[in-house]
Amino acid sequence: MNKNFAPSTAAALVAVLTLAVSGIGWAGEMEKGMHETSEGKTMSKEEQSAFSTLDTNKDGKISQAEAKKNPDLAKKFDSVDSNHDQAVDEGEFARFEMKTEKSK
């Protein structure tokens, strides 16, 4: 038997188990109603609902006019719109919500 076989097999097994465990964590978040944004941020059901309520035209972005329904977001709109496309996408909104939650 090749002596290099056992260590490489063990390393592969560790890698597979690591991926399996991280997948379980991700699945748990999805069960709790978490939603991954296009930027890899996660949004809770409450955040998804808030985003959806603000995104009245359902284009996947919150415009400056739509943001007026949330005074804090409207006030910070330019800094929340990190890519400066004149809209707040789900990832930007998730970061805004995280910062707002941390400041409470």
In the block, tokens 């972005």 appear at 61
- Per residue in 27-41, pLDDT (tens digit) is 444 444 445 555 566
**What is the pLDDT, as a whole number, of residue 103?**
77
- The pTM (predicted TM-score) of the whole model is 0.62
- Per residue in 42-78, pLDDT (tens digit) is 778 899 999 999 999 999 999 999 999 999 999 999 9
In the block, tokens 């991954």 appear at 36
